Structure 1
Amino acid sequence: MPSPKNHFKAALKARLPQIGLWLNMGEALTAEIAGHAGFDWLVIDGEHGPNDLRSILAQLQALATSPSEVVVRPPIGETWVIKQMLDIGARTLLVPMVDSAEQARELVRAVHYPPRGVRGVGAAVARASAFNSIPDYAETAADEICLIVQAETMAAIRDLENIAAVDGVDGVFIGPADLSADMGYLGRMEAPEVQEVIEKAIGTIVKSGKAAGILTFSESLNRHYLDLGASFVAVGADVTEFSGALRSLAGRYGRGGGIGKQRSGY
């Protein structure tokens, strides 16, 4: 029995637009709610969310019946971290801060078993193989593991053609917040200079035959990137949607939600 099919990886290969959401709350229940909201993919964020190995595991378990494909972003692209993420059942990894093709090649090695890579062999006792219920997991895992690397600096942009050409990289994700900061436009990703770099980067990735992705909270920008050929676009985050909805509700009753305001009792 082979590893279960990774529908997100198949969709990227077919260039089917995939709309995603970031999960930053670090909670299984809110992840489960998001999993039934209708998104194509969800990112459990281990870089900027309050997540550790066990909380990521809990969210993977909560999303096991979700029609959304789950992407895990580790805090860093270290081989030992990637090994743990894969063993607990992550099938798609989004690795932050990949600045060079050489770094991308090392990540490819990290997600593959020998002889192609260096992933430690221990799936028989891991959730990834359904605890050895998938007897040929080791032989088939690579077919369904999806590796996405993040280009978030001008160093990555300068080496983007080579990064996208790395065999085993399934997609390249532009990180607009860090990229704009690296360019000297901290908090101003909509600056024309930043947008010019992003648009060219999406074109470079698409031309390479790999899938291009990005995250913004701007619907107009997201639709623009889809028109440019980006095939996996994240359009929000659970934290911002939740906090925005609560502020809106409080505002309808004349409450501004500001710190230091006198609280009313009930």
Structure 2
Amino acid sequence: MPLRLAPSFREQLAGADRALIGIWACSGSPLVTEVAAGSGLDWLLIDMEHSANTLDSTLVQLQVVAAYPITPVVRVPANDAVAIKQVLDLGAQNIIVPMVSSADEARAAVAATRYPPEGVRGVGSALARSARWNRVDGYLGDAAAHTSLTVQIETAAGVAAAAEIATVDGVDAVFVGPSDLSASMGLLGQQTHPDVLAAVDTVFRAVTAAGKPVGVNAFDPAAADAYIAGGADFVAVGADVALLARASEALAARFIPASEGGARASY
């Protein structure tokens, strides 16, 4: 019996009447990811760039998330055609490519998601979960309709090229990473520095003018609110490991006397 795939992140963004709110899954634990998947949030980012996630753990997380009404997005470790091919073949319909700083890099990411002649994605649908082992009718011809590509701007060069990046055909959305952006600007760790905020606003304006959705990472609630008010179409507002870290620290602060000298985070 032919199978149908879930709507892509591109389709979810197009149909939204508010900013879509997401969470990062960095622990590599399918159980933790399943807990987050049932949270009621709109989208979940399985991160392979800054976490312990592997192809195996990403596959299992995609499988457990499929049972919940949340849209999974996978951030690949790099703008690499092999990595992108493997993650797509796992059945990831929505990917984020980090560190895209030029239109040429954006075009390379698009090519990696498309089968020839439009791109360079290797053909293995009969062997892969992406087409449910050829149980999705017409997958090879319709693959681009089932997938979405978000590119991440995280450098000063990317900010300067934001308008060109956003107009690349096949780029469905742009995601801004203030952490690496602040480092690129010589303001390491200062994600809310006025110059960084101005750079994010520059990207917002350029991407919106190109008619594409724009999102941002903002774990600080006040910053997230400001970005939403500023026109963000999607925002990542937390991460599984960060939530556990802060909540466990709060328990320690509540129940263990400070005089005993336990570890206390200042951030």
For Structure 1 versus Structure 2, the TM-score category normalised by the shorter chain is over 0.9
Quick one: distance in 1 between partners of 2:209 and 2:254? 48
Quick one: distance in 2 between partners of 1:213 and 1:120? 29
The 5 Å alignment of 1:248-263 reads 248-254=250-256, 258=262
1:45/1:51 contact within 8 Å kept: yes
1:106-163: CA deviations, max 9, x gaps? 1111101111111111011111111222132112221021000000001111111100
| CA shift for structure 1 position 3 | 4.8
Identity of counterpart residues, as a percentage? 43
| Residues 120 and 59 (structure 1), Cα distance of their counterparts in 2 relative to 1, 3 Å cut | same
Quick one: distance in 1 between partners of 2:257 and 2:13? 44
1:197-218: CA deviations, max 9, x gaps? 1112111111110010101111
Aligned partner of 2:9 in structure 1 is 8
Quick one: distance in 2 between partners of 1:15 and 1:170? 15
Quick one: distance in 1 between partners of 2:107 and 2:148? 14
SS in structure 1 of the partner of residue 158 of structure 2: helix
Aligned partner of 1:216 in structure 2 is 218
The 5 Å alignment of 1:2-81 reads 3-14=4-15, 16=17, 17-81=19-83
| CA shift for structure 1 position 13 | 2.4
SS in structure 2 of the partner of residue 32 of structure 1: helix
Quick one: distance in 1 between partners of 2:64 and 2:257? 34
What amino acid is aligned across from residue 201 of structure 1 in structure 2? Answer: V
Correspondence 1:89 to 2:102? no
Q: State the TM-score, normalizing by the size of structure 1.
A: 0.93
Q: How many residues align?
A: 260
| Residues 7 and 111 (structure 1), Cα distance of their counterparts in 2 relative to 1, 3 Å cut | closer
Query: Please, which of 142, 147, 150 is the counterpart of residue 148 of structure 1?
Result: 150
Query: Please, which of 192, 199, 202 is the counterpart of residue 200 of structure 1?
Result: 202
Quick one: distance in 2 between partners of 1:97 and 1:258? 37
| CA shift for structure 1 position 237 | 0.6
SS in structure 2 of the partner of residue 252 of structure 1: helix
| CA shift for structure 1 position 2 | 7.0
The 5 Å alignment of 1:98-137 reads 98-137=100-139
SS in structure 1 of the partner of residue 214 of structure 2: strand
SS in structure 1 of the partner of residue 255 of structure 2: coil
Quick one: distance in 2 between partners of 1:54 and 1:185? 36
Q: Any stretches of 5+ residues in structure 1 without a counterpart?
A: 260-266
2:8/2:93 contact within 8 Å kept: no
What amino acid is aligned across from residue 166 of structure 1 in structure 2? Answer: V
1:46/1:73 contact within 8 Å kept: yes
Q: State the TM-score, normalizing by the size of structure 2.
A: 0.93
Structure 1 segments of 4+ aligned residues over 4 angstroms from their partners: none
Quick one: distance in 2 between partners of 1:204 and 1:4? 32
| Residues 52 and 98 (structure 1), Cα distance of their counterparts in 2 relative to 1, 3 Å cut | same
Over the residues paired in the alignment, what is the CA RMSD in angstroms?
Answer: 1.6
| CA shift for structure 1 position 253 | 1.3
| Residues 253 and 204 (structure 1), Cα distance of their counterparts in 2 relative to 1, 3 Å cut | same
1:31/1:63 contact within 8 Å kept: yes
